[in-house]
């Protein structure tokens, strides 16, 4: 059993008081950066606010989210009696007029909110802690992720477990998108849903918690050759986690929008049926 | 081809100081440290600057150039327009000694608090320790650190919140912890220490340390985040805790080191 350790006290602070640290250089300007460091946080804010606005519209509109055989990812799995599709059992009964999207949204939302990458993105752009490197924090006080509520970021792995279930469900939706009234077929919507499922898998599998749970947490990787191989593969994906985070986010939006266009009659889905 | 470089250099000490303007004749191919040396040789003989290897390997010449932490000896002047003023200031996070020299003792004090490497009993028949390359591969990345302390300097926890120096060890020390925690022979468990005294929770993974590291160590992705996950194993994951309790009855070592 490994020993839990504490540092050996090097000096008793009560006996040998540390000399008061000398002051820092009085540079004056809060930052001397001359480049456009504010562009990155600004773009992040614009995209994330755009997504939240779109997401609210999508989740609350409670209609035009299903066009046989395409189901919008915002409404998958659809679990209530007022659902337009029948892919999953309607275990929540009749909750109308509440949108069925609201029941399930907490899982993907929680997953993304506690994601290590999105944390970086919103701490920088919304919290301004820090807005950019070598640009000072906006607030004087700072507790990081040591207190409630941000200490809850540590439960990210639990959201990951659900994320894997959701990735499976979205894959199921993509498979169903090949079946038009009992006949095999392929349409533009099929492609959109397949790409959506693929991006969600890439995002969920490149997750830092996933990398840790699958093998990164081992002290001796050689003791578990299979987990070591899985860990090595996931580490490759993990390097692109930020890309998958944005790509999957934007694609979910595009997928829902496409299905809305088709379902509301603004567009006809081109497809071929065997 | 030579040209005149406009430089603005912070001069002063603990009692105060200011940015002073200079014009220095420089040649193509020079780095910022060369320009500082020329300034010292021709106009400011008493300018204090720390350097040693001029090869990006000793970590002595860290400073802030146009507001960004950089190794002066690895920053070529052709990074800037010939007409641009190059501003050089000492590292902001540490107390200034004089001009461009700061006192980085804080980092060594934090290093002293890290419980050292504690190998268990040798497993080889011959009384020697045995390790496999695959087990030390990821640890070797952290060994590349040249202790330039630019990550400690840029980390907003230490840079913008002086009081947090007491409770947060900083990114350079985090990779030291990671190196030991991932070491196949080490038997210490530093996870409670990481959560409490070393303050890993103060890091909000905003990655400025990774951005500035001249050795391109993935401090956040490969060091701090895996440490946060290890701390979560020990303190924030009831299911993992239950698994550990159940497994405690079976002596088989699955290589998790208690995880
Ligand atoms: S990632 Fe963490 S340790 Fe690195 S600079 Fe940011 S807050 Fe500091
Ligand atoms: S981790 Fe990188 S930035 Fe930090 S002290 Fe080491 S070499 Fe410098
Ligand atoms: S989903 Fe981004 S780190 Fe887990
Ligand atoms: S002088 Fe050694 S790193 Fe610059």
Domain parsing of chain B, residue ranges: 2-102, 105-247
Question: Which site among B205, B211, B234 would you substitute to test the A interface, given the most A Cβ atoms closer than 10 Å to its Cβ?
Answer: B205
Task: DSSP letter for A17, please.
Answer: P
Tokens representing B79?
Answer: 């990074």
Cα gap B69→B91, rounded to integer Å:
7
Is the pLDDT at A15 greater than 80? The verdict is no
CB contact under 8 Å between A145 and B201, yes or no, is yes
Pairing outcome for strands A271-273 and B16-27:
unpaired
A4 inside domain: no
Q: Which residues contact B212 (CB under 8 A, 6 or more apart)?
A: A133, B68, B69, B70, B150, B151, B153, B154
Q: For A37-46, what is each residue's pLDDT tens digit? A: 999 999 999 9
A26 inside domain: no
Contacts of B141 in chain A (CB under 8 A): none
Rounded mean pLDDT of A152-166?
A: 97
- Whether ligand 1 lies within 6 angstroms of the CB of B207 is answered as yes
- pLDDT at site A157: 97
Residues in chain B with pLDDT values less than 50: 251-259
Q: Ligand nearest B149 Cα, by number?
A: 2
CATH 3.90.70.10 fits domain B2-102: no
A73 inside domain: yes
Handedness of CA B91, B95, B99, B101 (dihedral sign): negative
Question: Which site among B107, B167, B201, B202 would you substitute to test the A interface, given the most A Cβ atoms closer than 10 Å to its Cβ?
Answer: B201
- pLDDT at site A7: 54
- Whether ligand 2 lies within 6 angstroms of the CB of B178 is answered as no
Task: DSSP letter for B31, please.
Answer: B
Q: For A179-223, what is each residue's pLDDT tens digit? A: 999 999 999 999 999 999 999 999 999 999 999 999 999 999 999
Answer whether B71's CB lies under 8 Å from B62's CB. Answer: yes
Cα gap A137→B72, rounded to integer Å:
25
Residue of B nearest to A138 (CA): B160
A59 inside domain: yes
Domain assignment of residue A181, given as a range: 39-264
A44 inside domain: yes
Q: For A66-87, what is each residue's pLDDT tens digit? A: 999 999 999 999 999 988 888 8
C-alpha distance from B4 to closest chain A C-alpha (Å): 20
Pairing outcome for strands A70-71 and B96-98:
unpaired
Mean pLDDT of chain A: 93
**Hey, which of B169, B204, B211, B226 would you mutate to test ligand 1's pocket, going by the most ligand atoms within 8 Å of its Cβ?**
B204
A130 inside domain: yes
Count of the separate structural domains present in chain A? 1
A191 inside domain: yes
For residue B58, give the ligand 4 atom closest to its CA.
Answer: 2
Rounded mean pLDDT of A85-94?
A: 89
In degrees, rounded to 5, the angle at the alpha carbon of residue A249 between the alpha carbons of residues A172 and A195 is 40
- Report the CATH number of the B105-247 domain: 1.10.1060.10
- Cα-to-centroid distance, B16 and ligand 1 (Å): 29
Q: Which residues contact B200 (CB under 8 A, 6 or more apart)?
A: B174, B177, B194, B224, B227, B228, B231
Q: Which residues contact A214 (CB under 8 A, 6 or more apart)?
A: A227, A230, A231, A234
| Residue A170 φ/ψ, nearest 5 degrees | -70, -30
A97 inside domain: yes
């Amino acid at each position: 059993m490994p020993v839990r350790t504490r540092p050996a006290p090097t000096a008793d602070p009560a006996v040998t008081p540390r000399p008061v640290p000398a002051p820092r250089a009085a540079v004056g300007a809060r930052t001397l950066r001359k480049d456009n460091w504010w562009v990155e946080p600004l773009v992040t804010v614009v995209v994330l606010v755009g997504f939240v606005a779109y997401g609210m519209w999508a989740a609350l509109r409670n209609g035009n989210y299903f066009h046989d055989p395409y189901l919008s990812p915002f409404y998958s799995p659809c679990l209530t009696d007022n659902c337009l599709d029948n892919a999953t059992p309607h275990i929540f009964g009749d909750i109308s007029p509440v949108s069925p999207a609201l029941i399930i949204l907490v899982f993907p939302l929680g997953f993304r909110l506690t994601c290590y990458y999105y944390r970086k993105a919103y701490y920088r752009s919304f919290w301004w802690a820090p807005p950019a490197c070598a640009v000072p924090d906006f607030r004087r006080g700072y507790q990081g992720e040591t207190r409630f509520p941000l200490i809850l970021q540590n439960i990210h792995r639990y959201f990951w477990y659900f994320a894997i279930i959701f990735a499976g469900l979205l894959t199921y939706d993509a498979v169903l998108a090949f079946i038009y009234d009992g006949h095999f077929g392929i349409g533009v919507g099929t492609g959109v849903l397949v790409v959506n499922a693929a991006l969600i898998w890439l995002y969920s599998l490149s997750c830092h918690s996933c990398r840790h749970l699958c093998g990164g947490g081992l002290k001796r990787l050689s003791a578990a050759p299979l987990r070591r191989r899985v860990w090595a593969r996931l580490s490759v994906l993990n390097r692109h986690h930020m890309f998958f985070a944005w790509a999957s986010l934007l694609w979910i939006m595009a997928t829902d929008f496409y299905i809305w266009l088709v379902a509301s009659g603004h567009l006809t889905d081109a497809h071929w049926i065997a | 081809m030579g040209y005149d470089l406009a430089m603005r250099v912070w001069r002063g000490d603990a009692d105060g100081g200011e940015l002073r303007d200079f014009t220095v004749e420089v040649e193509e191919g020079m780095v910022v440290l060369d320009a500082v040396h020329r300034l010292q040789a021709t106009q400011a003989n008493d300018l204090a600057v720390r350097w040693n290897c001029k090869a990006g390997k000793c970590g002595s010449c860290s400073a802030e150039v146009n507001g960004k932490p950089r190794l002066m000896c690895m920053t070529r002047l052709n990074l800037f327009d010939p007409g641009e003023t190059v501003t050089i200031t000492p590292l902001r996070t540490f107390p200034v000694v004089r001009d461009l020299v700061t006192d980085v003792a804080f980092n060594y004090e934090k290093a002293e608090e890290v419980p050292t490497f504690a190998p268990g009993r040798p497993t080889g028949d011959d009384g020697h320790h045995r390790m496999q390359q695959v087990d030390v591969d990821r640890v070797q990345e952290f060994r590349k650190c040249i202790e330039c302390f630019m990550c400690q300097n840029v980390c907003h926890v230490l840079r913008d919140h002086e009081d947090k120096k007491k409770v947060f060890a900083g990114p350079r020390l985090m990779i030291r912890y990671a190196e030991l925690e991932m070491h196949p022979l080490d038997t210490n468990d530093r996870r409670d220490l990481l959560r409490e005294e070393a303050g890993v929770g103060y890091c909000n993974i905003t990655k400025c340390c990774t951005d500035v590291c001249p050795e391109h160590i993935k401090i956040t992705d490969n060091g701090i985040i895996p440490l946060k996950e290890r701390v979560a194993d020990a303190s924030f994951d009831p299911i993992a805790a239950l698994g550990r309790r159940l497994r405690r009855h079976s002596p088989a070592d699955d290589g998790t080191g208690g995880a």
